[in-house]
């Protein structure tokens, strides 16, 4: 069946009139041409001059090696250039000037809402201005600060109490909070939990979101420190909260990945299937963590960084570690055979190595459940999360 394109106009008698479409004079992002066409032109220009487009991240372009290495990262029309040789960087700038209208903003300090501060200790990534603007827009700029991102005693359900009269404002708030998780791992679980209710938000969900805004008020400038003296060893912590979803009884996967002492990736996500026992949930979390490690390893190769040492995955579930290390399938694990094969193959080829960790040192508890203050803050202190505006 052919579907009509465009919008139908209505006559005075209520009947349908002509079909109309809107013509955009320029891209919504502000470009004079579609973003896709502009990126194709931009990437072809770089590739024709010897730059290599990353297969792990198509917005990343690299050229050279050693002292001549230079990298370029582009998002629509915002560009970051870095490298070890100022002459190679200036050469790339000259190339861009010759091909496009290009404005050099100097050393990187602000990019897409991210604030970057550099020192001899490393690079601090935060979203202080973005957070303060969010608090001002929601009327929480002068609110009383909260200690925790989410009260551990709170239990959220999909169908409890009345629906919000205006769901659009809740959805906009969650969308802005999702972007804030780029530099705030400590709020990742709370935002992940709230995002599950955007279809039909209710009063308890809004109250938890407001509590999260109060927590942000306490430390709007908190961010991540990427140490200049860190090693390049890849470490990951993997965990799962079995049957955590009170509506579906699905488990929550949590992981965080470190490059040396710097946290570079993290996630909280509800699993797509129901696990019959806790080891199964942990095993699925290990599979997700291993997939992330493979991607990060491929991305590091674009920067000519490689290591013969296996990536370490710390897990506090002995059953999951034993299943991964045991070449014989047990009867109760045959339904997770794909995940078993996937992790076991990565162990056998030496890419990853599973390591036990005590539960009190499991950093991914931050991403799988709301924690009390006595558990949350000791874990955060080990995750390169700092507040530069807090007096030491």
Task: Supply the pLDDT for residue 360.
Answer: 86
**What is the largest distance, in Å, between two alpha-carbon atoms of the chain?**
76
CA distance 388 to 225: 10
Task: Supply the pLDDT for residue 2.
Answer: 44
Task: Supply the pLDDT for residue 177.
Answer: 96
Mean pLDDT of 101-109: 87
Looking at residue 5, the DSSP 8-state letter turns out to be P
Query: Percent of the chain having pLDDT more than 90?
Result: 51
Does residue 114 sit in helix, strand or coil?
strand
On the question of pLDDT at 130 being above 60, the answer is yes
Closest CA to 241 of 314, 313, 316: 316
What element of type H or E holds 173? helix 167-180
Which residue ranges form the domains of the chain, and what is each CATH number? 1-105 (no CATH), 126-218 (no CATH), 231-364 (3.30.420.10)
Q: Is 50 left (phi over 0), alpha (psi -120 to 50) or beta?
A: left
Does residue 208 sit in helix, strand or coil?
helix
Q: Assign 3-class secondary structure to 248-272.
A: CCCCEEEEEEEECCEEEEEEEEECC
CA distance 15 to 9: 9
Mean pLDDT of 362-367: 91
Is the Cβ–Cβ distance between 271 and 388 less than 8 Å? no
The token pair at 238 is: 């993997």
On the question of pLDDT at 3 being above 50, the answer is no
Report the chain's mean pLDDT, rounded to a whole number.
Answer: 86
Query: Percent of the chain having pLDDT more than 70?
Result: 88
**Crossing angle (nearest 10°) for helices 167-180 and 128-138:** 170
pLDDT band at 65 (very low <50, low <70, confident <90, very high): confident
On the question of pLDDT at 319 being above 90, the answer is no
On the question of pLDDT at 332 being above 70, the answer is no
On the question of pLDDT at 236 being above 70, the answer is yes
Mean pLDDT of 235-242: 93
On the question of pLDDT at 34 being above 70, the answer is no
Q: How many CB atoms lie within 10 A of CB 284?
A: 21
Most confident among 22-26, 55-59, 325-329 (mean pLDDT)? 55-59
Task: Supply the pLDDT for residue 138.
Answer: 93
Q: How many CB atoms lie within 10 A of CB 304?
A: 11
Is the Cβ–Cβ distance between 313 and 233 less than 8 Å? no
């Amino acid at each position: 069946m052919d579907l009509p394109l465009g919008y139908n106009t209505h006559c005075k008698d209520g009947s349908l009139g002509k079909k109309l479409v809107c013509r955009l004079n320029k891209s919504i992002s502000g470009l004079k041409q579609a973003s896709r066409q502009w990126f194709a032109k931009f990437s072809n220009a770089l590739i024709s001059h010897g730059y290599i487009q990353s297969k792990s991240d198509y917005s990343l372009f690299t050229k050279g090696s050693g002292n001549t290495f230079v990298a370029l990262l582009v998002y629509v029309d915002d560009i970051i250039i870095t490298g070890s040789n100022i002459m190679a960087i200036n050469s790339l700038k000259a190339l861009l000037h010759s091909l496009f209208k290009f404005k050099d903003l100097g050393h990187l300090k602000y990019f897409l809402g991210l604030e970057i501060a550099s020192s001899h200790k490393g690079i601090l990534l935060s979203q202080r201005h973005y957070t303060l603007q969010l608090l001002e827009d929601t009327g929480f700029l002068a609110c009383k600060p909260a200690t925790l991102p989410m009260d551990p005693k709170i239990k959220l359900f999909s169908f409890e109490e009345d629906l919000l009269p205006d769901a659009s404002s809740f959805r906009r708030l969650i969308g802005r909070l999702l972007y804030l998780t780029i530099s705030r791992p400590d709020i990742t679980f709370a935002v992940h939990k709230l995002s599950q209710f955007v279809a039909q938000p209710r009063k308890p969900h809004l109250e938890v979101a407001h509590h999260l805004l109060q927590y942000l008020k306490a430390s709007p400038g908190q961010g991540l420190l990427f140490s200049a003296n860190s090693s390049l060893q890849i470490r990951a912590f993997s965990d799962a909260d079995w049957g955590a979803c009170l509506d579906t009884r699905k488990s929550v996967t949590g992981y965080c990945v470190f490059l040396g002492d710097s946290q570079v990736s993290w996630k909280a996500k509800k699993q797509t299937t129901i696990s019959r026992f806790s080891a199964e949930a942990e095993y699925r979390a290990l599979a997700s963590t291993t997939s992330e490690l493979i991607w990060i390893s491929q991305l590091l190769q674009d920067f000519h960084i490689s290591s013969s040492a296996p990536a370490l995955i710390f897990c506090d579930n002995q059953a999951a570690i034993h299943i991964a290390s045991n070449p014989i399938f047990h009867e109760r694990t045959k339904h997770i055979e794909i995940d078993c094969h996937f992790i076991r193959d990565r162990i056998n080829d030496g890419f990853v190595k599973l390591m036990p960790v005590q539960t009190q040192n499991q950093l991914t508890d931050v991403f799988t459940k709301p924690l009390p203050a006595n558990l949350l803050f000791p874990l955060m202190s080990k995750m390169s999360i700092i507040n530069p505006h807090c007096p030491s």
